[in-house]
Amino acid sequence: MEKKRVLYVSQEICPYLPENDLSKISLQLPKKMTELGNEVRVFMPRFGVINERRHQLHEVIRLSGINIVINDIDMPLVIKVASVPQARMQVYFIDNEELFKRKFTHFNDKGDAFEDNDSRMIFFCKGVVETVKKLGWAPDVIHCHGWMASFLPIYIRQYYKDDALFANSKIVFSGYTYPYENVLPNSNLSEILKFDGVNGVSEDQLKSSRVDSLQGIGIANSDAVLKLGALDQDLESIIESASVPVLRFNHESDDLRIIENFYEEVVNAESLA
């Protein structure tokens, strides 16, 4: 089987954030694909709770310095990188002082979701793509993990549709169940997407701040779904109604090489786009 270029995009990766199903599989999967001989790139947000000194993050000057436009506002993109201990892989961190410096992930110290989570989400997705473009690295598979990567598929389909680097990329999406539901208070998504010329998302979806609704947008614009473990019923229903291949995988017991075979099937299948 020909080895692949696989781009992993996740909002949480262990050991940089606490262990949970999302952060563990977001480490285990690219680590295994690297061991199997695939070429891998891994991206996550550089949340302010990540200890840069402990994890030895450093800025990549040649990749930093461009501006990401969010609803007509220029926001500087900073790229940092760290090597994962006991793994032959690196993680790239998407950073911006205004969006990610705060010492929290998605919620403040009162448990309220940040009002700019929509801007942070879109900045993250666009920042990943712009960095991959600078690397000149064309992925065969783009595997998105979690709600913060939910809009990456639709941006690849529409905003970056004329970019030859992603012309043959296939998108796999993995959704998760979280201990919270609402993440986008007073969402400005409608204006952000309109400014970027991204359409095809219903007003109900844009007004919803629920993570399942966001992940549903990711699933609807992907070529395949990789289901990892038990999910809540709403997300299960979204996956059941998806008109794309679905691999149901138990990351506690199944062999990760099954996923490599799934990638091969997805790459060889007709594209959704």
Residue 96 lies in a domain: yes
Residue 79 lies in a domain: yes
pTM: 0.95
Mean pLDDT for 51-80 is: 96
Give pLDDT tens digits for 141-184: 999 999 999 999 999 999 999 999 999 999 999 999 998 988 99
Mean pLDDT for 188-196 is: 94
Confidence of residue 271 (pLDDT cuts 50, 70, 90): low
Residue 273 lies in a domain: no
Domain encompassing residue 26? 5-268
CATH code for the domain in which residue 17 is found:
3.40.50.2000
Angle, helices 211-220 vs 233-240, to 10°: value is 10
Mean pLDDT for 15-20 is: 94
Residue 101 lies in a domain: yes
Residue 153 lies in a domain: yes
3-state secondary structure of 90: strand
Residue 47 lies in a domain: yes
**Domains held by the chain: number:** 1
Residue 132 lies in a domain: yes
Residue 168 lies in a domain: yes
Confidence of residue 200 (pLDDT cuts 50, 70, 90): confident
Q: Is the pLDDT of residue 1 over 70?
A: no
Q: What is the pLDDT of residue 230?
A: 82
Confidence of residue 206 (pLDDT cuts 50, 70, 90): confident
Mean pLDDT for 48-66 is: 95
Mean pLDDT for 110-123 is: 96
Which DSSP letter does residue 149 get? G
